[in-house]
Amino acid sequence: MNYQDICPHDSCTGCMACLSSCAHTAIVLTEDSLGFAYPKIDTSKCVGCGLCEAVCPANHPVSRLFPQKCYALAGPEGLLRDTASGGAATVLSRHVTGRGGVVYGCSGEDIRDVRHIRIQSVEEISRLQGSKYVQSKTEGIFREVRKDLSDGRKVLFIGTPCQIGGLRNYLRRDWDNLITVDLVCHGVPSQRLLNENIDNHKKRYPRLVEDSVAFRLKKDFDSPRARISYGFYFRPAPGEDLKSIRWYDDPFMLGFLGAATMRTSCYECPYAYNVRASDLTLSDFWGLGRDAGFKSGRGVSSVLVNTSRGAGFWQEVLSALPAGIGVRERKIQESITGNGQLMCPTRRYPSVDLFRSLYPQEGLKKAIFKSLRRKRLKARLLRYIKSLKKLL
Ligand SMILES: Cc1cc2nc3c(=O)[nH]c(=O)nc-3n(C[C@H](O)[C@H](O)[C@H](O)COP(=O)(O)OP(=O)(O)OC[C@H]3O[C@@H](n4cnc5c(N)ncnc54)[C@H](O)[C@@H]3O)c2cc1C
């Protein structure tokens, strides 16, 4: 087989615009040693039309804009319990599906096969809620988006910034009925690493309920000490309470938060800046001042409005906002300074290369605990000091 790169290998984000654009099934997916998918041209099938190279955002970057406005948003209690942050993605999805539109977003219903899906009713939104810290598959989804747009449906597409870049280039023109929403993104690990982590936990908990797996939790939700906590959460067996493994004791979460397991392109991500490729950008509002009056421990979303289409849509959402959802306009800089990936991509520390050299022989657990040994020790020490302080 003779396979050719579509863009420089290390710049490929895996957005799949090229795969979706090829009418000759001449794009094949190969996997690197960490399990990330890389599309390549199968030269035996290629007719040389050049479309795959033309739609690739690594070859032809999409335009990006500095935000016009910034808002803090937090849903009422019921919404905050179910959502990753302040629930902004759910609020936007409800607005669109409630008016006959369709929403595309990432579903983790099968946690071993996290992928983008299409929904068209308010009842289905729960399928998209929560952050899945893994690269979501988009194979075939851009074609469905184009079909909906051509049929005149209102479409809301939510994804990582590179997925928005891929979709925009794939579509090759602006559509008035499309709203794109990107998440501020720290980078993505691969599905293979996540599956290996689940398999490792299953050695100890063979009845582990896979659809209970989560990566962040709103702890002590009903108390003033409510906080978003990162870890690996799962039900060890049906009907049992959720088990939480602290982030630094779980190889997958340590690799994610220690930024050792990202796709290569994430370390040079062209989207991890304050200029954005989507109509709206959502993130956790980490830098939010107390004067905003939100209880940040249960999650507050930052909503950046980047384009005039985004501004029109956002005003529509605000004018029909259901009771109980708090929204305040804030300074744009407040959101940017609180969020590393609105300023620069995740740094490629030496631990990345160490992990990559160890992983093929040693597997996820050993390779991560060896390459992030110091980070883990530091986190454990801090935890110990904290618990001592509580005793005093
Ligand atoms: C890999 C990843 C890294 C992130 N890094 C940061 C960060 O560094 N800083 C920060 O402030 N926020 C980050 N976020 C965003 C944050 O965790 C929340 O997902 C976001 O604020 C939306 O919260 P919400 O309450 O509005 O979402 P909800 O209403 O709970 O809905 C979740 C939305 O997120 C989308 N989504 C979930 N997982 C994925 C995925 N893997 N790929 C694409 N879309 C997905 C779903 O389609 C859904 O629309 C990251 C998210 C992901 C998935």
For residue range 302-360, what is the model confidence (pLDDT) as tens digits?
Answer: 999 999 999 999 999 999 999 999 999 999 999 999 899 999 999 999 999 999 999 99
Mean per-residue pLDDT, 250-264: 98
Q: Look at residue 192 in the predicted model and tell me its pLDDT.
A: 98
Per the rule left: phi > 0, alpha: psi between -120 and 50, beta: everything else, 140 is left
Distances in whole angstroms, Cα of residue 149 to Cα of each of 115, 145, 152, 155, 319: 20, 6, 5, 7, 24
Distance between CA atoms of residues 83 and 294, nearest Å: 16
* pLDDT interval class at 175 (50, 70, 90): very high
Architecture of the domain delimited by 3-55: 2-Layer Sandwich (3.30)
- Tell me the CA–centroid distance for residue 103 and ligand 1, in Å: 15
Mean pLDDT over all residues of the chain?
97
- CB-ligand 1 contact for 158 (6 Å cutoff): yes
- Tell me the CA–centroid distance for residue 332 and ligand 1, in Å: 19
For residue range 103-120, what is the model confidence (pLDDT) as tens digits?
Answer: 999 999 999 999 999 999
Atom of ligand 1 nearest to the CA of 282: 21
For residue range 64-78, what is the model confidence (pLDDT) as tens digits?
Answer: 999 999 999 999 999
Mean per-residue pLDDT, 268-279: 98
Q: Look at residue 1 in the predicted model and tell me its pLDDT.
A: 72
Q: Look at residue 296 in the predicted model and tell me its pLDDT.
A: 76
Architecture of the domain delimited by 69-188+263-342: 3-Layer(aba) Sandwich (3.40)
- CB-ligand 1 contact for 87 (6 Å cutoff): yes
Residue with the nearest Cα to atom 6 of ligand 1? 185
**Where are the CATH 3.30.70 domain residues in the chain?**
3-55
**Where are the CATH 3.40.640 domain residues in the chain?**
69-188+263-342
Distances in whole angstroms, Cα of residue 389 to Cα of each of 56, 220, 382, 392: 53, 20, 11, 5
Mean per-residue pLDDT, 142-163: 98
Q: Look at residue 295 in the predicted model and tell me its pLDDT.
A: 82
Percent of the residues in the chain that have a pLDDT greater than 70, as a whole number: 100
Q: Look at residue 312 in the predicted model and tell me its pLDDT.
A: 98
Residue with the nearest Cα to atom 37 of ligand 1? 131
On the 0-12 / 13-18 / 19+ scale of CB atoms within 10 A, 173 is exposed
**Does residue 389 surpass a pLDDT of 90?**
no
Return the best residue to mutate from 91, 131, 229 for the ligand 1 pocket (most ligand atoms within 8 A of CB).
131
Q: Look at residue 327 in the predicted model and tell me its pLDDT.
A: 98
**Does residue 390 surpass a pLDDT of 90?**
no
Atom of ligand 1 nearest to the CA of 134: 41
For residue range 15-65, what is the model confidence (pLDDT) as tens digits?
Answer: 999 999 999 999 999 999 999 999 999 999 999 999 999 999 999 999 999
